[in-house]
């Protein structure tokens, strides 16, 4: 029975997200429920959470790029990105994002994962370009459509990153797999693992690319 109680944190997370409570609050409560049901005292629990939060500070380091992006936006970076797209004949949201998907997958496959990203490229460049392309085919965008185009720009960055990076030999996930298998007596070269990422990468490009073309179709109406 105590086994099942440690799953209470998972339940809290699901319920919290469905009810749209503040996620920071939900996460803290989930940690509390999980820790207490596993028999941790309050002080040990706060300490464990504090240590893990401190150890993971590198996750939040990416925010140091915001002053650069903000400064350039002040001088019209987004407007310039839109103007460039407006000059391209035949540019559509779908074609533009398919091009970005390809670049993102290829660069991630070469190990260049932090060259692009949501803060570095999507907010200042890709999203405004996609919006400008949508306006060319669709005319002025209502709020819901504009949000949908922006969401697809963000989604395309994620799909490109996730289904490109594992082709690279020295990426964290490949090293994690190699290490785990070695602990269990199976020795594999990273190349033997990363070639298996190629079929999924191609399928990801086809599936997401197809959906982007469908998005174009829906916008044209």
Partner 1 sequence: MIGLDWLYALAGAMFAGYAALSLRDRRIGNAAFWGLLAASFLLGGRLGDFANGCLVLGLVALAGCGALRPPPPATTGPAEREASAARFGSRLFLPALVIPVTALAGTFLLKQIPLFDPRQVTLLSLGLGVLIAIAAAMAWLRPPALAPLEEGRRLMDSVGWAAVLPQMLAALGAVFALAGVGGVVGGLATRLIPEGNLFAAVAAYAIGMALFTMIMGNAFAAFPVMMAAIGLPILVHGFGGDPAPIAAIGMLAGFCGTLMTPMAANFNIVPAALLELKDRNAVIRAQIGTALPLLAANMLIIYFGAFR
Per CB under 8 A, which region of 77-85, 88-96, 133-141 contacts partner 1?
77-85
Residues 154-213 that bind partner 1 (CB under 8 A): 154-155, 157-159, 162-163, 166, 172-174, 176-177, 180-181, 184, 186, 188, 192-194, 196-197, 199-200, 203-204, 207-208, 211
Q: Please count the residues of this chain forming the interface with partner 1, following the rule CB under 8 A.
A: 111
Cα–Cα separations (whole angstroms), residue 210 to 48, 76, 157, 171: 45, 32, 15, 28
Closest approach of partner 1 to the CB of residue 109, in Å = 13
By CB under 8 A, the residues from 1 to 40 that bind partner 1 are: 3-4, 6-7, 9-10, 13, 17, 20, 22-25, 27-28, 30-31, 34-35, 37-38, 40
CB of 137 to partner 1, least distance (A): 18
Instruction: Give whichever of 8 and 136 is closer to partner 1, judged by the CB atom.
Output: 8
End-to-end CA distance of the chain: 56
Contacts (CB under 8 A) with partner 1, residues 127-146: 127, 143
Q: What are phi and psi of 56, to 5 degrees?
A: -100, 20
Considering only 41, 70, 182, 218, the residue that binds partner 1 (CB under 8 A) is 70
Contact 93, 38 (CB under 8 A): no
Under rule CB under 8 A, residue 54 binds partner 1: yes
Helix or strand (DSSP H, E) at 207: helix 197-220
Out of 96, 108, 124, 138, the only residue in the binding site for partner 1 (CB under 8 A) is 124
* Buried residues in 10-29 as b, exposed as e (16+ CB within 10 A): eebbeebeeeeeeeeebbeb
From CA 92, how far away is CA 213, in angstroms rounded?
9
Residue 55 CB burial class (10 angstroms; 0-12, 13-18, ≥19) = exposed
């Amino acid at each position: 029975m105590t086994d099942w109680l440690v799953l209470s944190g998972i339940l809290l997370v699901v319920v919290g997200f469905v009810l749209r409570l503040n996620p920071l609050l939900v996460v803290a409560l989930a940690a509390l429920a999980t820790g207490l049901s596993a028999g941790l005292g309050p002080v040990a629990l706060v300490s464990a959470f504090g240590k893990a939060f401190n150890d993971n500070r590198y996750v939040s380091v990416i925010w140091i790029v915001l002053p650069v992006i903000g400064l350039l936006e002040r001088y019209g970076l987004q407007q310039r990105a839109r103007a460039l797209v407006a000059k391209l004949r035949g540019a559509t949201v779908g074609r533009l994002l398919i091009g970005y998907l390809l670049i993102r997958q290829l660069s991630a496959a070469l190990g260049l994962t932090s060259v692009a990203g949501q803060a570095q490229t999507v907010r200042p460049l890709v999203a405004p370009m996609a919006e400008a392309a949508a306006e060319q085919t669709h005319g002025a965008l209502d709020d819901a459509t504009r949000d949908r185009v922006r969401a697809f720009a963000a989604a395309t960055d994620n799909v490109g990153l996730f289904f490109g990076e594992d082709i690279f030999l020295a990426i964290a996930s490949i090293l994690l797999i190699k290490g785990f298998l070695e602990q269990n007596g199976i020795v594999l070269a990273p190349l033997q693992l990363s070639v298996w990422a190629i079929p999924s990468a191609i399928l990801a490009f086809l599936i997401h690319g197809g959906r982007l073309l469908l998005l174009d179709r829906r916008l044209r109406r």
